[in-house]
Structure 1
Amino acid sequence: MLTAADFDKLGFWEDVTPEENITVYGMDFGDAYIMLTDDLGKTPVNEKGFIVAAAYDDADCFLWGVELKNFAALKKLCTTHPAGSQELLEALRAYKLPKKQ
């Protein structure tokens, strides 16, 4: 089960959304930020489940979203590129789900 500490180690901050009553994890990228949820828009807790990264600009307008295979895929991207870097933001945006074999 994923915890806030797992996301904190990768450089994400934690926020509670009172209107949806969920915890989301985010990261700032200068004039943009991403928010992480599971594929149902809830708090990501299953390390083997999909994680959705949604990017927003500094005016809170949606820019793009991507579905990551699981927490391991997110962790790999975050350990390959520095937290909050343009390289990480671009790597997240360019991520493609692996094809089923």
Structure 2
Amino acid sequence: MSLQKEFEALGCWNAPTEEEHISVYGMNFDNCYIIFTDLDGKTPADAAAPLVAACYDGRDAFMWGKELQNFAALKSLRAAHADDNEFIAAVENYTLPKD
């Protein structure tokens, strides 16, 4: 399955950005939304590469950001936290595994 399809299976939307000329994946919640990019702020293309999760409030103000090990880490967090608030907290509190 393509990475785009994997993001969609998690409930993410995909939208182009006007300024950066890229597509981002995101998830909407009651009081915020989270977008996912690669480490360079570009469209994720490699499921094994790190992801950046950036959370914004309803007025598009940045709230927090977090580096995730890869897409599998994001998928695992979502599988473990079906409740949206728990998922948001899990992403915000995520720590990269030690090598």
Q: TM-score, normalised by structure 2?
A: 0.94
- Relative contact order (alpha carbons < 8 A, sep ≥ 6): 1 or 2 greater? 1
Kindly indicate whether the alpha-carbon contact (under 8 Å) linking 1:68 and 1:97 is maintained by their aligned counterparts in 2.
yes
Q: Which runs of 5+ in 2 are unaligned?
A: none
* Aligned length in residues: 99
Runs of 4+ in structure 1 over 3 Å off: none
The aligned residue for residue 37 of structure 2 is 37
Give runs of aligned pairs for residues 1-101 of structure 1, distance below 5 A.
Answer: 2-82=2-82, 85-100=84-99
Q: Which runs of 5+ in 1 are unaligned?
A: none
User: 2-side partners of 1:8 and 1:15: how far apart?
Assistant: 12
RMSD: 1.4
SS at match of 1:48: coil
Per-residue CA shift, 1:51-75, capped at 9, x if unaligned? Answer: 0000000000000000000011011
Q: TM-score, normalised by structure 1?
A: 0.92
Kindly indicate whether the alpha-carbon contact (under 8 Å) linking 1:2 and 1:45 is maintained by their aligned counterparts in 2.
no
How many percent of aligned residue pairs carry the same amino acid?
A: 47
